Amino acid sequence: MVERRAAMKTTINEILSGKYIQEEGWNPNYLETQTGIRIYRLNIIGAIVTALQEEDAWYVDDGTGTILVRNFSEKKQPLNAGDFVTIIGRVRETGNTRYISCEITHKTDPSWVIIRRKEMEKTNSTKLPIIDAEKPAITTNSQTELAISILKNSYNGASIEELLSKGIPEELLQELLSDGTIFQNKPGYVQLVGT
């Protein structure tokens, strides 16, 4: 059984400046960044600057660059220019055009853009190790328990920055938001439901 590869957080600049590697046979294509990281699936956050409704495609800008994102699924995405979005997908290249084929696209609170920018600045300020992003992402129960413990002990919720600095992955926070365990009580802060 083939395991699903982790979606690596990246910037549009890294996507556009990286090298697209096309593999033979059933091996998946990937993007190799200038720092040597292989990205099979990616995770970006940005703002839609142009919506191409007829094509179900958008131009997305994250502050480092702009790239075309295409939705090939049968489910149309009702997104408009000005919407902030999280996109998980794969890099594709046709001729000289590089784009993202999205798997998941959903509207995002603008405060996540600021948090992602800070995350990427931290990552890029240190020398990145050469890693292969093909291993599946793992969220441990202890991370979930830690997040819930921090939120239980905070009367008005906790800042997302604080949770990220304590090793809670952004994907876990988004999962807890999606399943209704936590909610965003004000921009940049989350709170446990029922507290």
Could you read off the pLDDT of 59-94 as tens digits, one per residue? 998 888 899 999 887 777 788 888 899 999 999 998
* Domain-located, residue 19: yes
* Structural domains in the chain (count): 2
Domain of residue 44 covers: 7-125
Q: 80 and 149, same structural domain?
A: no
Around Cβ 115, how many Cβ atoms within 10 Å? 19
* Domain-located, residue 1: no
Q: 39 and 98, same structural domain?
A: yes
Q: 40 and 117, same structural domain?
A: yes
State the Cα–Cα distance between residues 104 and 82, nearest whole angstrom. 18
The reported pTM is 0.60
Among residues 75, 100, 125, the one where a domain terminates is 125
> Where would I find the beta strands (DSSP E) of the chain?
7-9, 19-21, 30-32, 38-39, 41-52, 57-61, 66-70, 84-94, 97-107, 158-159, 182-186, 189-192
Q: 15 and 58, same structural domain?
A: yes
